Amino acid sequence: MLKSRNDAQALLAWGEAQNPGKWAAHSRTVARAAETIANAAGLDGERAYISGLLHDIGRYEGATGLHHVYAGYSLLRREGFDDIAAICLSHSLPNREFAEGSGEADFTPEELKAVIDYLKNTEYNDYDKLIQLCDALGTDGGIVLMEKRLVDVTRRYGFSSYTLPKWNKLFEIKQYFDGLISGNVYGLFGDEIGRVTFED
């Protein structure tokens, strides 16, 4: 059974204490965005919130590259969050390619094999897509226009041959959720997006 939002908040607070950083505030923004969109789309807001809150929990282990996705996946399985553990793997890989993740693919060979097996054997569900989208909307300061966040991440990590397909996939996912809510996802957040996007 899915653990509660209190359990998820406690685990994030623990992770933040291990490795303080902007990633925890980013995670809280992603959780809030995911819950709001899920409720508007007829999905389970609680599940969306918990998935958003813990998608980057692997960052507890400190400065790593893409390894945090695997670290989060195994931590969540150890801590009883089995239902959503795979969100840690899927959130960075919208095109299901392990090499598209931002940062170095610093997996052990066994971890890499587990990630590749997961990508081969799993179809993404609406929650995977939702967290991919919200990861591209949420900063530590709030919810922004997706273009802003994508450029920001690319300035930090650089371009690769995966960058453009990843951007295109994320725009496609946004359109998918626009369709589910019969409107524009941005409209769910009042003036926040305009405000935070132009803040810095």
Could you list the residues that contact Fe ion (CB under 5 A)?
Answer: 56, 135
* Of 100 and 135, CB closest to Fe ion: 135
- Distance between CA atoms of residues 20 and 165, nearest Å: 32
Q: In Å, how far are 26, 51, 77, 152 from 4, measured between CA atoms? A: 20, 11, 15, 32
> Residue 79 CB, nearest distance to Fe ion (Å)?
18
Closer residue to Fe ion in complex, CB, 105/191? 105
Residue closer to Fe ion, measured from CB, 51 or 197? 51
Report DSSP state, residue 138: E
Q: Minimum distance between the CB of residue 30 and Fe ion, rounded to whole angstroms? A: 6
Going by C-beta distance under 8 Å and a sequence separation of 6 or more, which residues neighbour residue 64? 58, 71, 103, 106
Provide, rounded to whole angstroms, the least separation between the CB of residue 56 and Fe ion: 4
Quickly count helices (H) and strands (E) in the chain.
Answer: 10, 2
For helices 22-41 and 45-54, angle between their N-to-C axes, nearest 10 degrees: 160
Give least dist CB 136 to Fe ion, A: 9
User: Which is closer to Fe ion, CB of 52 or CB of 111?
Assistant: 52
